């Protein structure tokens, strides 16, 4: 920085507000069968969601994608670098235990979806 440049106070404040990320505590991410699911493992121990549920899915390719995300992490566990894990965590912790409420919310939303309407015109849209 030259003498005429001043530090950006907004950028400085944003950087100081970021929480410290936890350090990586495992060497190897993998998967292991668990009942009818495939669980993510970290150094052979099953991983957990933030809600302490087992991080496991029914699809082996999805489990492999989750493990690959974890394996690709650097020295810190940055949730921004774990997009599939974040989605699966939300499904396990926030949806699985409330299936009926979530289904009702989806039905309510679907009633307002503009892709689900009947058209009388134009003719091409009616055919579709």
What does the alpha-carbon distance between residue 99 and residue 110 come to, in Å, rounded to a whole number?
16
Q: 70 or 4: which carries more pLDDT confidence?
A: 70
Q: Is the pLDDT of residue 127 over 70?
A: yes
| Residue-range domains of the chain with CATH | 9-127 (3.30.2180.10)
* Phi and psi at residue 52, to the nearest 5°: 75, 15
pTM over 0.75: no
Q: Going along the chain, which residue ranges are E strands?
A: 29-34, 37-42, 45-46, 56-57
Q: Average pLDDT in the 61-69 region? A: 98
| pLDDT over threshold 90, residue 11 | no
Residue 49 has a CB neighbour count (10 Å cut-off) of: 19
């Amino acid at each position: 920085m030259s003498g005429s440049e001043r530090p950006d106070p907004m950028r400085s404040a944003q950087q100081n507000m970021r929480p410290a990320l936890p350090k990586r505590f495992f060497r190897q991410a993998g998967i292991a069968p668990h009942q009818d699911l495939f669980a993510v493992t970290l150094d052979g121990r099953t991983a957990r969601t933030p809600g302490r549920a087992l991080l496991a899915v029914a699809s082996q390719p999805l489990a492999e994608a989750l493990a690959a995300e974890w394996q690709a992490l650097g020295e810190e566990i940055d949730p921004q670098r774990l997009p599939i894990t974040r989605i699966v965590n939300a499904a396990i912790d926030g949806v699985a235990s409330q299936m009926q409420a979530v289904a009702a919310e989806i039905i309510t939303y679907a009633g307002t979806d503009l892709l689900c309407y009947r058209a009388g015109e134009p003719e091409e849209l009616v055919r579709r």
